Amino acid sequence: WWKGSLKTRDAQGRYPNEAPWQCPTLPVGGPSLWLPCMVRAYTPPTERKKFYQNVSISQGEGGFEINLDNRKLKTPQAKLFTVPSEALAIAVATEWDSQQDTIKFYTMHLTTLCNTALDNPSQRNKEQLIRAAVKFLETDTVCYRVEEPTALVELQKNEWDPMIEWAEKRYHLMNGSSTSIMGPNIPARTKDTFTSHLASYNMWALQGNEYVITQLKSLILSMGLLDRHITVEKAVLLSRLEEEYQIQHWGSVEWAHDYDMYELRARTAAGTLFAHLCSESSTVKHKLLQD
């Protein structure tokens, strides 16, 4: 079934109703059961019984590898799971080591991102990744404003304007906001500036950045995170500003609201950490991460 699903990708190279390249694969020599990678809405996330005891990392010719009971982890396309930095390898190994009786793949965001970077299921190059990121400016969360109610208008102005002002000062550009359904008019110079800046990141870091952008629906908030200008908690709150306003006035489903908030924080934090670790050139000792 899993191999057959490779033939059903859409024009963007993704599977229908799928979370981006989420399913980790089995280690070499592990059980032969293939795991479904398609995650449909309102269905329980994929889990399976834990089949290993010990997790370790080792350095190979292509980088750092993950070992489950001395068996090497591989990607969904059966490539050797190899990451470029020791720090990232330790972080991924921690995801696998923290699993209990069952492996909850939907909690392993760093593993997901590594699989995406290694397999590149959509077959995009660096230029295409950058172009997709910059295109988010046209629908950026902090650039779309409401005209009413007045309280929400003021809230967006007070919370979102400082982020736009920061971006304009940080990247020496002009950006704007709009209440029109057509969105703001983004100057070509602004797009060129972001394109040039993103070109300084490697392919792995760009994958992490795109993951953050899709969570927050905002390139500006994503860049604020990568530049350590705002925290993950702040970025998530800003991305959900209108929703939080509505909840304060109309209430919410208690458990659902909290769950969505924590999930969004987890994914955003993982994407930010991934981008940072993939941008670091130096290795990090085990004790540094343990501390």
Task: Convert the pLDDT of each residue in 88-100 to its tens digit.
Answer: 999 999 999 999 9
Residues of the chain with CATH 1.10.3580.10: 126-290
pLDDT band at 16 (very low <50, low <70, confident <90, very high): very low
Residue 167 or 15, more confident: 167
Average pLDDT over residues 279-287: 47
Architecture of domain 126-290: Orthogonal Bundle (1.10)
Query: Does residue 268 surpass a pLDDT of 60?
Result: yes
Q: In angstroms, what CA-CA distances link 198 with 116, 122, 201?
A: 19, 19, 6
Helix 150-171 × helix 241-250 angle, to 10°: 160
47-49 and 55-59: which strand pairing? unpaired
Q: What is the pTM of this model?
A: 0.78
C-beta atoms surrounding 205 within 10 Å: 22
Residue 157 DSSP label: H
Residues of the chain with CATH 3.30.2180.10: 2-119
Architecture of domain 2-119: 2-Layer Sandwich (3.30)
Q: Residues of the chain with pLDDT > 70: what percent?
A: 76
Q: What is the pLDDT of residue 144?
A: 83
Integer Cα distance of 179 and 191 in angstroms: 20
Q: What is the pLDDT of residue 74?
A: 95
